[in-house]
Structure 1
Amino acid sequence: MRDLGGPLARIALLSVLALSSGALRGEGTAPLAPGTASEVVREGRPAAVTLANREVVVLRARTYAASPAERAAVAATRLAELVDAGIEGPVVLQPDPLGLIVKVGGRPAFALVAPDTDPASGETLDALGRKTAERLATALREAGELRHAPGAVLKRALFALLVTGVFLAVLAALRRLGAWVERAIGAAAETRAGTSRLLGFQVFGVHVVRWLTHWIVRLALWLVGASAAYLWATGVLRVFPYTRPWGEQLGGFLLDAAGTVLLAVLGAIPGLAFVAVIFLLARVATSGVRFFFDAVTSRRLEVPESLVDVAVPTRRIAIGLVWLFALIMAYPYLPGSQSEAFKGITVLVGVMVSLGSSALFGQMASGLSIMYSRTMRPGDLVRSADFEGVVKSIGLVTTRLQRLPGEEVVVPNTLALAAVVRNRSRAARTAGPLLQTSVTIGYDAPWRQVYDLLLGAAERTEGIRKSPAPWVLQTSLSDFYVEYELSVHLEDAEAFATVRSSLHERIQDAFNEQGVQIMSPHYFSDPAAPKVVPKEHWQRIPPAR
């Protein structure tokens, strides 16, 4: 016992202990101690009174010179003496001018005063006394079992072993059940492997089904096994008097957790119902928006052509705004939205988005600019210094082109917006996409002959429209050659690469047939013989390597 701070304090404490010892011997009932209520104060370090490993009460007050820890030690000693004397009840509360005296079998055990109550919960002294009496009666009964009934402890040990055996048998049965389920589902997957198809493709292979089954069964077994282990530990601990408080705490924790979850779910139902109504209204609004713009794109609603081109992006923006507004309205009613953790996560996500989304928002702004400026649209044949192809889709971030079958070119919208794009379909919606190619011919070749050769090659090329008719322009008169540009309209924009290749083949055939050489951009003198391939050599098979 620590020093209480002075001779007077020691005398006061000794008088309390002496009165208590006399009461235990039946020498009368003494008050709490001599003094006044001003000598009973609350101390910041509480101490618990325990008996048979069970907490009876937590003392928080310093009575005269005795701290809560010293009062708890004296009370534990008195209770142990009562148990040794075979006194296990009844537990009675006797009022006192300064509080309550807890008696066991008519003998004082310890005292409770008003500062012993829990200030955080608003507990009263009477409520504390009733709770203490109930706990003390249970602790005395369990302490009596430990001291005076050793045979009962042996029976409880045998019962605990039986429960443990049942628990181990349940675990073994669960393991066998899991193995049987895996085999059964694996066999069913092998039997139906050829029938589980969607749109001609196999949905799940046998190995995928086996893998999913294995992990799902293992997860289920772990959950069931953990629940069984929790129940086993709770039950076994509650069998023995000394460990019964631990079992009660373990079971109480599970019940408290389940109750907390249930109360949280019940408390969230009104808010979730309001959220469901908000999203239902948003769904109705988006359905109306989608119906309107589908009518615009399908020409069921007469609007200018310029509005039809931007109907799809406008529909996406309108639907996005509706859902964003619905999310803003529903946010305060989401469970946990007002908690500090939820607010912290929201702030973190906002910071991450602000730091890492500058490029993304730039791409999205470029995509909207392309859509609303109608620079290009799906199906157009476009070309720039960096890319060429048929536009397949225009998204908020990228534009996808197709140059050859099976080849897709993905162009960032910022690049597509910054580049000089030549749209070969926009000005010729009814005539077909425009395809152009150029050749450079020396001045010694008559331009009328070059015109005839180029137009003849176009007529012999499949995939080129006859109307509008192809035409030729002289785009440059350079120092050594004339540059001719042949323009044709295609029947199918997606075949532009193969049609252009065929057109180049026909141009070479036509010029070789007429002996007109296609010169390099620069030369210093005429060759001795024209650089042409004789017609009899067109089909010559090259020698094997």
Structure 2
Amino acid sequence: MKQQWLTGLLICFLCVACFSFTMMPAQAQTLDMGSGAPVTIDGKDLFMIKARVGVLLPEERARIIQERLLQVARDSAIDIAQVTIHSSGSDAASLEIVAGQTVIMTVTEGDAQADEVTLAVAAEQRQSAIQAAIRDYRDMRVTRYLLLQAGKAVLLTGLVVWLWLLLRKADDYLRTLLQPAGAARVYVKKIPGRKWIPLEQIYNLFHYSLWAFVWGLKLVVLYFYLSIVLSFFPWTRAYSKQLLTYIMVVLESVSHAVWDYLPKGIAIILIVVISRFLLRLVSFFFTALREGKLKIAGFYPEWASPTYKIVRFLILTIAVISIFPYLPGSHSLAFQGVSVLLGVLLSLGSSSAVANVVAGIALTYTRSFNIGDRVKIGEHIGDIIEKSLLATRIRTVKNEEITIPNASILNSPVVNYSSASKETALILYASVTVNYDVPWQKVHPPLIEAALATPGILQEPRPFVLQRQFNNTTVSYEINAYTQEPHRMVDIYSDLHRHIIEFMQTAGVDIASPQYIAFHHGSASDKEAVKGKTDNH
């Protein structure tokens, strides 16, 4: 069934093509006669008037000749053999073409020189053209000829109607194949990191594409049908010629434009192919660097991706700059003006963006942090979840996402807790104050035991205590402990503080505070005095 439809469609197109070239009369063809004004009868150009006579321009001469020729053609009393050439009595350098008592035209030396022939040859050529035009004009208005042309028109109309119905049935048949049930058999490739393409969208795409194609084909058939049918009758042949001229002018312009643009198109294709090859080569090179298959001294694997993006941007920029002169209209003032305007707008509006891009590159090659690192940027502490040339995003310990411009990061101190833990270990520390009357030998052990009892604290290297400061009434002790889990800093600190309180209380060591110190060992009056001062404040 499907092959029968295709065969019928092919036969129909061949029939229309045959009608286009066999049924169209020769009168509808346009003669290429160079510049000048044509003398036209029933849509056929007979000859060109290129020279002026006296004050009459070629256009005015052609109009007068055409009116006289139509007058002679309509007068059946004038025989074609009566169209003769006579010498002009007033001017020996010209000849007249006469039909009966009517002078159709005067052939001058200017006409002969324009055609690059002698005066006699020019007159004979015009005489033959006028006789043929009169004969065709009369023959095409005979009842037998008109009935024959009407039959051709009816036959072509039936053929076009059949073709129209055939296209409609073919459209319905293809739509049946593209129903969602049938479209479910279409294999859709899954793109990594993307969702499956809904089959309904595929069906809609084919549906509208098929609709546009079928209606475009119908309009083309209708256009050529009108052109051919109008050419069958002498009264509408000029309109047929005009319709064909429209499409031929468009096709000729497009073909010339494509042919003239072909060398530039080839240059663009070569630039695209070379750029694509370079991008693949660069991608292969930096992928090997990122995966560690290729090593370069002083080049770190985490530099591979950003460096590849920079190199790819440079390659694409050079490709666009190279392609730009070959684009259609690239040398026009309007195109150049728009390009300058866009350049100015980008320059004025992208200063901060450029600063962020430069800062992003600097942060990449200074290795300040990587994705997943626990960092402190300004007053924000969190994990790096995204790095780009414009900004960096972190997720804080409170599960807040903060976007920080790279220029701000470059101008702020950055503390990376994860970088130290990768090489050795990160030291966490906590300070407590104890009275002078408590020996340090009694303070160190509970602090170290509290650290060792905290989950996430390493047993080796062992925690250690530093006596950091002598206050007025207390000594500041600092417990330092190693960890390789910087992402659990908050939990580890919480457990460490809790264990410090527990182990210090178990050891009988009080953690002092300024108010508590003021009356811990004083008299009752001293306690009341301190309490009064505290209440007043």
**TM interval, short-chain normalised:** 0.5 to 0.7
| Shift of residue 224, structure 1, vs aligned partner | 1.9
Amino acid at match of 1:419: S
1:425 alignment partner, SS class = helix
1:419 alignment partner, SS class = coil
CA distance 1:292–1:73, shift in 2 (3 Å) = closer
Distance 2:469 2:49 in 1: 105
CA distance 1:525–1:143, shift in 2 (3 Å) = farther
Does the CA contact (< 8 Å) of 1:52 and 1:143 recur in 2?
yes
CA distance 1:295–1:168, shift in 2 (3 Å) = same
One of 81, 84, 87 as aligned partner of 2:71: 81
Does 2:371 correspond to 1:371? no
One of 346, 362, 387 as aligned partner of 2:355: 362
CA distance 1:383–1:139, shift in 2 (3 Å) = farther
One of 104, 107, 129 as aligned partner of 1:109: 104
Does the CA contact (< 8 Å) of 1:454 and 1:507 recur in 2?
no
Distance 1:388 1:282 in 2: 43
Amino acid at match of 2:492: L
Aligned position for 2:499: 510
CA distance 1:50–1:468, shift in 2 (3 Å) = farther
Q: Please list every run of 5 or more consecutive structure 1 residues that lacks an aligned counterpart in the other structure.
A: 1-45, 118-122, 529-545
Does the CA contact (< 8 Å) of 1:234 and 1:251 recur in 2?
yes
Distance 1:193 1:480 in 2: 83
Aligned position for 2:20: none
Does the CA contact (< 8 Å) of 2:453 and 2:499 recur in 1?
no
Does 2:416 correspond to 1:414? no
Higher-RCO chain (CA-CA 8 Å, sequence separation at least 6): 2
CA distance 1:251–1:389, shift in 2 (3 Å) = farther
Distance 2:48 2:475 in 1: 107
Distance 2:129 2:519 in 1: 118
Distance 1:94 1:487 in 2: 127
How many aligned residue pairs are there? 471
Q: Please list every run of 5 or more consecutive structure 2 residues that lacks an aligned counterpart in the other structure.
A: 1-35, 521-537
Does 2:216 correspond to 1:226? no
Q: CA RMSD in A?
A: 5.3
Distance 1:239 1:296 in 2: 75
| Shift of residue 428, structure 1, vs aligned partner | 4.7
One of 135, 140, 143 as aligned partner of 2:137: 143
Distance 2:129 2:447 in 1: 108
Does 2:386 correspond to 1:397? no
| Shift of residue 423, structure 1, vs aligned partner | 2.1
| Shift of residue 162, structure 1, vs aligned partner | 4.5
Does the CA contact (< 8 Å) of 1:49 and 1:57 recur in 2?
yes
Normalising by structure 2, report the TM-score: 0.66
Amino acid at match of 1:79: L
| Shift of residue 82, structure 1, vs aligned partner | 1.4
Q: Percent identity?
A: 24
Aligned position for 2:4: none
Distance 2:50 2:201 in 1: 63
Does the CA contact (< 8 Å) of 2:97 and 2:127 recur in 1?
no
Aligned position for 1:203: 196
| Shift of residue 88, structure 1, vs aligned partner | 8.7
Give the structure with the higher percent helix: 2
2:178 alignment partner, SS class = helix
Aligned position for 1:24: none
Normalising by structure 1, report the TM-score: 0.65
Does the CA contact (< 8 Å) of 2:455 and 2:495 recur in 1?
no
Question: Deviations for 1:49-69, whole angstroms, at most 9, x for unmatched residues?
Answer: 543355656767653344556
CA distance 1:382–1:471, shift in 2 (3 Å) = farther
CA distance 1:48–1:476, shift in 2 (3 Å) = farther
| Shift of residue 140, structure 1, vs aligned partner | 4.4
Does the CA contact (< 8 Å) of 1:472 and 1:485 recur in 2?
yes
Question: Deviations for 1:143-171, whole angstroms, at most 9, x for unmatched residues?
Answer: 3355x324533543454354345434444
Does the CA contact (< 8 Å) of 1:289 and 1:315 recur in 2?
yes
Question: Deviations for 1:30-88, whole angstroms, at most 9, x for unmatched residues?
Answer: xxxxxxxxxxxxxxxx9765433556567676533445565344323311221113469
Kindly report which structure 2 residues correspond to 1:293-304, keeping only aligned pairs within 5 A, or say none.
293-294=286-287, 296-299=289-292, 303-304=296-297
Does the CA contact (< 8 Å) of 2:98 and 2:105 recur in 1?
no
Does 2:59 correspond to 1:64? no
Amino acid at match of 1:205: P
| Shift of residue 361, structure 1, vs aligned partner | 2.4
Aligned position for 2:489: 500
| Shift of residue 126, structure 1, vs aligned partner | 4.4
2:378 alignment partner, SS class = coil
Amino acid at match of 1:233: L
Amino acid at match of 1:431: T
| Shift of residue 124, structure 1, vs aligned partner | 4.0
- Which stretch shows the higher mean deviation, 436-445 or 322-331? 436-445
Does the CA contact (< 8 Å) of 2:306 and 2:364 recur in 1?
yes
Amino acid at match of 2:61: R
2:179 alignment partner, SS class = helix
CA distance 1:509–1:183, shift in 2 (3 Å) = farther
Distance 1:527 1:140 in 2: 136
1:510 alignment partner, SS class = helix
